[in-house]
């Protein structure tokens, strides 16, 4: 992009430099300012203007002629065809007047036309290059060198030479070169430029590292898991690029409108020339000037810029916030969603059970938890790990259990400090002959509120119950509230039992609950909402929710940087934060507003400018020359590009 911007700048400068003396020696300068300088070396001023126009036509304007040829080969018409036609016809006519054809040349109009149009393109390309800052920033995140431990010795090698499975040394203050898993060490890592997470994330052995993030404190040894194009960073860059190159429905409409505007412009030029020359009796030169002015001012440059510039800015703003739109259509459609469907587990909740309540009928609460944790440390069940983690969080030291025996689907029994401890289901306690002693009603009440219950028995008696639940994410309530403030209905879709689903829904203020839904039924539930006339966005983890994500008008995958390759979603949220859902919708709406503003300006501009350019108001002295038309057209394009860049100032909470 930088090379293209530089090339366009050089072409503009050449056109500008040569157009100044061409204008000074032109008949219009004599009429307007009384300038009648003598040409050097005794040559005629029109011959001098012809010579000075050669670099403008054959170097600066070559980009228009090449573009026009390419468009015609593809059997289409675009603004390159209009500009090339205007410059080619105007310059050829002017050359013929130098060779003796009666009439007045207008080399100055052709030179200034080229300069102004090139200036507009230069500004447009500069705006696009500025809009790509996020992609460049992401590309710069990957460090050029990495430290690899080979044969026990740290070696610095190019990042491109790191292989999957190699052990990396990530020193404090350095960037993680590739995706990896921590094997040794503990540190905090800044992932803000990848996931949008503002606070450093603690990393311990077993945790994943994303290439391009910054190790803030301790040294880490990590095993490379993904390199090159497979890394999360490379996939993010590819997603942003693909989104910027794709076309939204509104842009495709604008492209079709631009094609027909070119047809209208060329036809309008012929009609204008015929009307002035044949009907009004104007001179050939005057008629041709009006025709060229119509062709130039009708260039659909602004119309072609209206949506892609806004899309580039919108996708880059999303990338900086950890919101990746896979294509322009998703960016546009997200603004029209009326219903958001959330999967529960791992989306609205953390997806990990936690101990939320302990009810005892014997040992004190901490003692009950300590005994239960001693047994559960020997188990790999998720509920067992949750009980063990709860003891750790309270600083309880659980003794080592002996004679551990797991009972499939029911729980476990072990000896702890010489006491027989049973942790598991109601059925397990009944199997070992323990009476519930009134805890059955307590457990039933907890289960009715959506909790999972583990009974704890000690030495033949039921000592208490441990209630576990999958806690909601800290920002889930805020996300639901923001969606409600925008008039969006919020639905929760889950395979969990209704009691658990209703508890979470009540806690978050969700409008509607679809519970006990099998994974293969989720897609049908989304389709049912669509048949009711809703525009549905589905938010899930991209695994068992894949069919529903694909069915939704906009599928939104919520997860971490390692999950960026989710294929079925239209939008990928790098952070596991539900608030990014209303944030993505707000960004979409701001982008669509800019697109509509730009399209409105582009259509309105051409509607007003065409009759003026054609000389419809010449009776009132209101006419345009080709160079003024070129300036107006270029100004319109620059205005559209600048308006799109103002999207960067939009407040996206």
- 343 given a catalytic annotation: yes
Catalytic position from the list 46, 179, 301, 343: 343
Cβ-contact 277, 290 below 8 angstroms: no
Cα angle 91, 94, 99; round to 5 = 125
DSSP for 554-584, please give it.
EEEEE--GGGTT-SS-SEEESSS-TTHHHHH
3-state SS, residue 633: helix
Cβ-contact 243, 328 below 8 angstroms: yes
The strand order across the sheet containing 489-493 reads: 323-325, 571-573, 554-558, 536-540, 339-343, 489-493, 512-514
Q: Per the structure block, which two tokens stand in for 71?
A: 């468009």
Cβ-contact 597, 643 below 8 angstroms: yes
3-state SS, residue 178: coil
Cβ-contact 164, 224 below 8 angstroms: yes
Distance CA 422, CA 528 (A): 46
Distance CA 496, CA 240 (A): 35
From residue 553, alpha-carbon distances to 310, 342, 564 in Å are: 21, 14, 20
Cβ-contact 285, 618 below 8 angstroms: no
Report which of 609, 622, 610 is spatially closest to residue 268, judged by C-alpha positions: 610
Report which of 223, 192, 225 is spatially closest to residue 205, judged by C-alpha positions: 223
Q: Residue holding tokens 């740290």?
A: 154
Q: Per the structure block, which two tokens stand in for 613?
A: 């350019």
Distance CA 604, CA 302 (A): 11
Cβ-contact 316, 240 below 8 angstroms: yes
Distance CA 189, CA 180 (A): 13
Catalytic residues: 343
């Amino acid at each position: 992009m930088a090379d293209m911007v530089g090339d366009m700048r050089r072409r503009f400068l050449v056109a500008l430099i040569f157009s100044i003396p061409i204008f000074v020696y032109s008949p219009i300068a004599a009429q307007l300012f009384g300038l009648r300088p003598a040409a050097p070396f005794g040559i005629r001023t029109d011959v001098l203007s012809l010579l000075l126009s050669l670099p403008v036509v054959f170097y600066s304007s070559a980009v228009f002629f090449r573009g026009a040829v390419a468009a015609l080969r593809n059997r289409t018409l675009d603004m390159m065809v209009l500009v090339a036609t205007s410059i080619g016809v105007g310059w050829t006519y002017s050359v013929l007047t130098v060779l003796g054809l009666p009439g007045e040349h207008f080399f100055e109009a052709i030179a200034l036309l080229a300069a102004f149009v090139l200036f507009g393109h230069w500004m447009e390309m500069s705006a696009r290059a500025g809009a790509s800052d996020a992609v460049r920033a992401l590309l710069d995140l990957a460090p050029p060198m990495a430290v690899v431990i080979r044969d026990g010795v740290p070696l610095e090698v190019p990042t491109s030479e790191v292989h999957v499975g190699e052990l990396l040394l990530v020193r404090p203050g350095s960037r993680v070169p590739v995706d990896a898993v921590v094997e040794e060490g503990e540190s905090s890592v800044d992932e803000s430029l990848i996931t949008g997470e503002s606070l450093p994330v603690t990393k311990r052995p077993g945790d994943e590292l994303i290439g391009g993030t910054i190790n803030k404190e301790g040294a880490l040894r990590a095993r490379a898991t993904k390199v090159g194009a497979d890394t999360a960073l490379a996939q993010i860059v590819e997603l942003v690029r693909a989104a910027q190159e794709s076309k939204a429905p509104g842009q495709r409409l604008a492209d079709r409108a631009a094609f027909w505007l070119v047809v209208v412009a060329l036809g309008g030029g012929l009609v204008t020339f015929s009307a002035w020359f044949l009907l009004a009796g104007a001179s050939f030169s005057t008629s041709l000037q009006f025709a060229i002015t119509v062709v130039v001012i009708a260039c659909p440059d602004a119309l072609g810029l209206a949506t892609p510039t806004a899309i580039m800015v919108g996708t880059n703003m999303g990338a900086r916030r950890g919101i990746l739109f896979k294509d322009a259509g998703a960016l546009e459609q997200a603004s029209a969603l009326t219903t958001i469907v959330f999967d529960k587990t791992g989306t609205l909740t953390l997806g990990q059970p936690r101990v939320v309540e302990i009810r005892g009928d014997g040992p004190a609460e901490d003692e009950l938890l300590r005994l239960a944790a001693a047994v559960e440390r020997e188990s790999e069940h998720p509920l067992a790990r949750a009980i063990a983690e709860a003891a750790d969080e309270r600083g309880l030291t659980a003794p080592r259990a002996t004679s551990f025996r797991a009972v499939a689907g029911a729980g476990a029994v072990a000896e702890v400090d010489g006491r027989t401890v049973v942790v598991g289901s109601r059925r397990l306690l009944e199997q070992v002959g323990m009476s519930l002693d009134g805890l059955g009603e307590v457990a039933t009440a907890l289960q009715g509120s959506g909790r999972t219950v583990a009974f704890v028995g000690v030495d033949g008696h039921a000592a208490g119950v441990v209630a576990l639940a999958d806690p909601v994410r800290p920002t889930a309530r805020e996300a639901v509230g923001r969606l409600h403030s925008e008039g969006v209905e919020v639905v929760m879709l889950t395979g969990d039992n209704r009691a658990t689903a209703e508890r979470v829904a009540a806690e978050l203020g969700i409008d509607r609950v679809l519970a006990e839904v099998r994974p293969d039924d989720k897609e049908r539930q989304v389709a049912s909402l669509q048949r009711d006339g809703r525009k549905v966005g589905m938010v899930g983890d991209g695994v068992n929710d894949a069919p529903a994500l694909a069915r939704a008008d906009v599928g939104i995958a919520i997860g971490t940087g390692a999950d960026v390759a989710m294929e079925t979603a239209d939008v990928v949220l790098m952070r596991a934060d539900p608030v990014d859902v209303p944030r993505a919708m707000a960004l979409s709406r701001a982008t669509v507003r800019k697109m509509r503003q730009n399209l409105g300006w582009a259509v309105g501009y051409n509607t007003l400018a065409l009759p003026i350019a054609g000389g419809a108001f010449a009776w009132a002295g209101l006419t345009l020359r080709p160079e003024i038309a070129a300036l107006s057209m270029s100004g319109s394009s620059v205005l559209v590009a600048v308006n799109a860049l103002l999207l960067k100032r939009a407040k996206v909470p």
